Every structure is written in C-alpha cells, then in structure tokens.
Amino acid sequence: MRVLLSGNEAVARGCYEHGVKVATAYPGTPSTEILENVVRYKDDIYCQWSPNEKVAFEVAMGAAFGGVRTIVAMKHVGLNVAADPLMTSTSVGGDGGFVIVTGDDPGMHSSQNEQDNRYYAKFAKIPLVEPSDSQEVIDYVGAAFEISERFGTPVLFRLTTRLCHAKTPVELGKRTEVERKEYEKDTTLRVVIPAHARRLHVKVEKRLEEIRKFAETSPLNRVEEGDPAVGVISSGIAYQYARDAFPDATFLKLGLSFPFPTELARKFCARFDTVYIVEENEPFIEEHLRYAGITNIVGKEKVPLCGELNQSIVARSFGGGDEPDRAAVAPRPPVLCPGCPHRSTFFTLNHLGIGSTSDIGCYTLGVMPPLEGIDTTICMGASIGNALGFEKAIGRDFAKKMVAVIGDSTFVHSGMTGLADVAYNKGATTVIIVDNSITAMTGHQHHPGTGMTLMGEPTTKLDYIALAESMGVKDARRVDAFDMEAVKTAIKEATDNPEASLVVMEGPCALMVRKTWTQPYSVDTENCTGCGVCLRLGCPAISRDEDGKAVINPLFCVGEICGMCAQVCPAKCISVPVEISA
C-alpha cells in the first residue's frame, strides 16, 4: 500500500518492518514523532521515554548487549548529552543491531544551535547513514541494521528537520522478525578497563577501514547519470534541493557517507572539470575530498554554511537567479499560549524586578516582550548551575535578584543534579519549577514526573518536594500557578529566604485540558481605563481596540481555568459573562 509518511513516521515504520525489538528516546524537535509512532507497534516493539538522552542511549546499548535490534532517537543536541556513552559504545560494538538516530536542525527552527552531527560519526568512528526521503528512511533503517550486525558497530542515522517533518510517499512492507542473539559474558569486549580498551581501539581502526571498502561499492552510494559535463556530489535532504537546482546533472548521491568512499568519489570527480558539492551546514563531504587531494571541486566557497538550504539558495549559490522581493511585515514570533500556566511566573518576576536564568522548553518564550523575564538560556538544565554561578561571582544577595526557572521535564532531564549542587555548595538560589506536568514544547510527552509511561501504563510519579527536601533544600513548596497573589507571595518569600529554596508552580498545559475550557472572559469597556496592565501578561487573546481599551478575542481565550487577566486588572473590569436565565 502506498501512503504518505513523514521521515519520523518512516523511521518508526522501518523499525517495525526490520525487526526492531527495543526503542528508546527523550523527546526533542525534530525527532520527537519517531517514538510517538513506534508506540503504534508496541505489541512488537518495547518503547520508552527516558529521563534524558544519556539514559535512553544506555538503555538502548543494554538492549543491544541483550541481543535484539535496538534504536535510540534524539535531537542533535541530545547527542551531546549522550556523547559519553556514545564515544565508548562504539568500541564495544553491537551484539544485536544498534542504530542511533539524530535529528539535526539546520535553520534552527526549534533549537539553540546548528551543530552538524555528521561529525559525531567521524569522532566516534562509526558508519553514517543519510537518507533523503521517507522511502529511503524505511529502506536505510534495514541497511543500517545490516551494517551494524555485519561489522559489529553502532550506526549513526542522520535526519534533518525537513526530512523528519516532510511527508513523502512510501510502500508499506511486512515485518521481518530477527531472532535475539544469545548473550554470552565477555569482559574483554564489554568491560573497558585500559588493558581492554587499548586492544579495542586497534580493532575499531581496522573495522573502519573494512567499512570504508564496503562503502566504496555499497548501493547506498550511487551515481545517477545525466549531463556528462556537470557533476554534483550531495547527500541527505540537500540532494533533493540540488536535484531541483541542477535538474540535468550527473550525481554522486551518498547514503553511506562515512567512512568516506574516497575512491568512488575520486573516480567520479575525475570525469568532470568541476564538481559541485551541495551540503547543508558544514563542509563534511568537502573536507574528505580535499583531504584525499581532490581539488576540482566547488563547495562552501559558494554554498552558505549558516542556515537551511533550499533549491533557490543552491541555484543562487552557483549564479542562478537573484533574491526575491519580500514585503516588509512585522514579525509574528511564537508566544506562550492563551491559558498557559507559565505566564504568571514571568509576569510576576518582571513586576518584582527579578531576572531569571532559564532553560529549554515552552517557558523560554518568557523572554519575549512584554514578559521579558529571562536573562539566560543555554542548554537543558543549565538554569540552576547558571544561577548558582551568578551568586558565587556577584555575592549571596544576588540570589534575590536572579532565580532559576526550569520546566518539569527539563528538571528531570538534567536539573536534579543542579539542585543537588545548590544544596551541597550552600547556595541561596531559588529554583522555580514551572510544572505543567508534561513535556509540552515537543507536543506533550510523558516523563518520570507525570505518572504515565510511553506504553500507556500508570507508573510511579516523582515528588519534587520530597526530592528537594532529601537533598537538603528545606524551603520547598507548591503553588497554584493560576493564583496571581499566591505566585507573588511565594516568589517574594523564597527569594527573601537566605537559604536555598524551591517553588513548584503547578498548572496544567492549557492544550492538555481543552475539555475544561469555559466561556471566554470579556472586558467591560465602559469601566476599562486602558491602563494596559492586562496587556503586560502577553496573552495572545488580549489586544487594544480603536479607543485604546482592552479587548479579548473570544476565539482564543480559554476562560475560567486561567483568569490571570481578571486578577491583575486594577479596575476589576474583566469577567466571564454570567448567563441570566429567563
């Protein structure tokens, strides 16, 4: 059957068809939907969200030790978190096939950097597989497992945002079961004491050379004949852009791009005066060509290194066409949703003149005007360490002026160790967990703080207060995030406390509780003074009318589950209309 699947759905389908038995991940755009779709095959594949990518990686590695085909999926920066097990797992090698999926984000649609994870394959000395549409994703998942099992190595499977989220046609196939390999204890292979690790390094170098020879003739690397005068080398989604920009050229399309098939590329380049290298972000292919002494190539001197490509940019890079004439329009950045529980925290911090080191999640949108409640955001979990560092540099009193704000999922991911550090090193830091009880930014995934597994089973639920107290943070409290007065009191008291403190701002993600939305609020225009206090909440439902009075868009307002605007209105002129029965 022919259907449209996104690249992420295709990874899940590939796992199903190619006999995968265990799949793990921590959600992160653009890779989240991989596991969300694997769970559709949960009768055949065990799958789980892990607290972070490092744990997800280690669980997957253990499953591969246990002899079954396993995948672990994460966004590009997630692989930084999992880099420690990655760098050593590669010398240990697979027992069951082991595929690591990375979702890179050229253009940074939803990320803090634009790192090109192809370099991780080179760094960790493992094969790199790069599909360019959903059908290739399904087929290459199978190929990646075959490579993994044949050469005893994990394989890095690289997708990019456009590939993850673009839907393209695929043929659905049947599942092929792959038998579990019997586990046998072998400490020389799996216990990396230096004596063993030295031998393993030699083995890895030998293995890499064998895989390179394999890559020279692998069908994943193919020449597509065309105009004998124009040669192009490309891989991944960049290949599709190059195909549109050079419709008639001869292509060397790389699907197994590391270890680099040097001789194949050398033979290809010898056929042309100049070969065009089209790749997104870093010059990964180009560096291999130049290292091999191949010089009749044009790549990053023409093709932009920063940002996402498309066929127009590729064509323009080589002199085809000019920039289009854009209309000047005010930006429309993403914002906290109407009814978002995080709004009260940033509104109050702003009101009290307190800054925050913040973290990765929806609440990072608290940086936007008018909330403007954030000073720093770097990576998952950084908020707490950053806040403690500020305090150590500037002085203990500075903790009154700078709190750490972190989401529930992010806190479990890598905030817990930060909180332990605050307690252990006698910080005065106030940590605010904005707890909407879900991983919201990526589309609502469960985590150890929600009480539900990916397989859909109820489970234990992490208690942040008990955790903080056990670490030695005595001032730990829960607050209703929709009670503006309580939020203000809690932040004041916690920052006044000279010891470390934790405030858990509780309120469900508005998108998770649609069924509880009520009649929208409205403004009593006669009594509205146009003071603009409600507008400082930055709620997308509120704007001004022609007379400068506040007006609430009834299509956006979620009603009484929120009510922050009604609480902050000094004229008390915002309410939910009461229906008077006849």
Partner 1 sequence: MQRTTNVFISGVGGQGILLASEILSDVALAHGLDVKKSEVHGMAQRGGSVVSHVRFGEKVYSPVIAEREADLLVSFEKMEALRWIHYIAPEGTVVVNDQEIVPSGMERYPEDIDEGLSKRAPNAHIIDALALANEAGNARAVNTVMLGAFSNYLEFTEEDWKKAIEARVPPKTVDINLKAFALGRAAGAR
CB of 24 to partner 1, least distance (A): 21
In SS3 terms, 162-224 reads as: HHHHCEEEEECCCCCCCCCCCCCCCHHHHCCCHHHHHHHHHHHHHHHHHHHHHHHHCCCEEEE
403 binds partner 1 per the rule CB under 8 A: no
Which lies closer to partner 1 via its Cβ, residue 319 or residue 331?
331
Separation of alpha carbons 51 and 58, rounded Å? 11
Interior/surface letters 147-160, b for 16+ CB within 10 angstroms, e for the rest: bbbebbbbbbbbbb
Among 30, 127, 259, 415, binds partner 1 (CB under 8 A): 30
330 in contact with partner 1 (CB under 8 A): yes
Burial 167-178 (b: 16+ CB within 10 A, else e): ebebeeeeeeeb
Which region among 88-96, 139-147, 295-303, 436-444 touches partner 1 (by CB under 8 A)?
436-444
Pick the binder of partner 1 from 174, 185, 319, 332 (CB under 8 A): 332
Alpha-carbon distance of 469 to 448, in angstroms, equals: 18
Q: Give the x-and-dash track for 121-140 against partner 1 (CB under 8 A).
A: ------------x-------
Query: Is 461 near partner 1 (CB under 8 A)?
Result: no
| DSSP symbol at 458 | B
The residues in 501-540 that bind partner 1, with binding defined as CB under 8 A, are 532, 535, 538-540
Comparing CB distances to partner 1, the nearer of 340 and 419 is 340
Q: Is 325 in the site for partner 1 (CB under 8 A)?
A: yes
* Under rule CB under 8 A, residue 377 binds partner 1: no
Q: Does 406 bind partner 1 (CB under 8 A)?
A: no
Count interface residues toward partner 1 (CB under 8 A).
56
| Residue 464: partners with Cβ closer than 8 Å, 6 or more residues away | 408, 411, 433, 435, 449, 476, 502, 504
Residue 439 binds to partner 1 (criterion: CB under 8 A): no
Buried b (16+ CB within 10 A) or exposed e, 373-388: bbbbbebbbbbbbbbb
Does 82 bind partner 1 (CB under 8 A)? Our answer is no
Say how far apart CA 188 and CA 185 lie, in whole Å.
Answer: 9
User: Can residue 543 be called a binding residue for partner 1 (CB under 8 A)?
Assistant: yes
Q: How far is the CB of 105 from partner 1 (least distance, A)?
A: 9
User: Cα angle at 231 between 230 and 233, to 5 degrees?
Assistant: 150
If one asks whether residue 148 binds partner 1 (CB under 8 A), the answer comes out as no
Collapsing DSSP states into helix, strand and coil, what is residue 233? Answer: strand
- The encoded tokens of residue 137 equal 């994703």
3-class secondary-structure state, position 436: coil
Q: Does 368 help bind partner 1 (rule: CB under 8 A)?
A: yes
Q: Of 28-36, 53-61, 400-408, 471-479, which part binds partner 1 (CB under 8 A)?
A: 28-36
| Cα distances (Å, whole numbers) of residue 261 to 127, 256, 282, 307, 475 | 11, 8, 18, 27, 60
List the interface residues with partner 1, window 164-193 (CB under 8 A). Answer: 165-169
Q: Is 555 in the site for partner 1 (CB under 8 A)?
A: yes
Q: Which of 193, 327, 393, 580 binds partner 1 (CB under 8 A)?
A: 327
String marking each residue 211-250 x if it binds partner 1 according to CB under 8 A? --------------------------x--xx-xx------
217-to-147, 220, 324 alpha-carbon distances in Å: 13, 8, 42
Answer whether 137's CB lies under 8 Å from 31's CB: no
Piece in contact with partner 1 (CB under 8 A), picked from 216-224, 259-267, 323-331, 487-495? 323-331
Contact positions with partner 1 (CB under 8 A) in 84-123: 109-110
- Any contact of residue 33 with partner 1 (CB under 8 A)? yes
- Cα 16 to Cα 155, 176, 177, 241, distances in angstroms: 18, 8, 9, 29
Residues near partner 1 (CB under 8 A) are: 2-4, 29-30, 32-33, 109-110, 133, 161-162, 165-169, 237, 240-241, 243-244, 310-312, 315, 324-327, 329-337, 362, 365, 368-370, 441-443, 532, 535, 538-540, 543-544, 553, 555
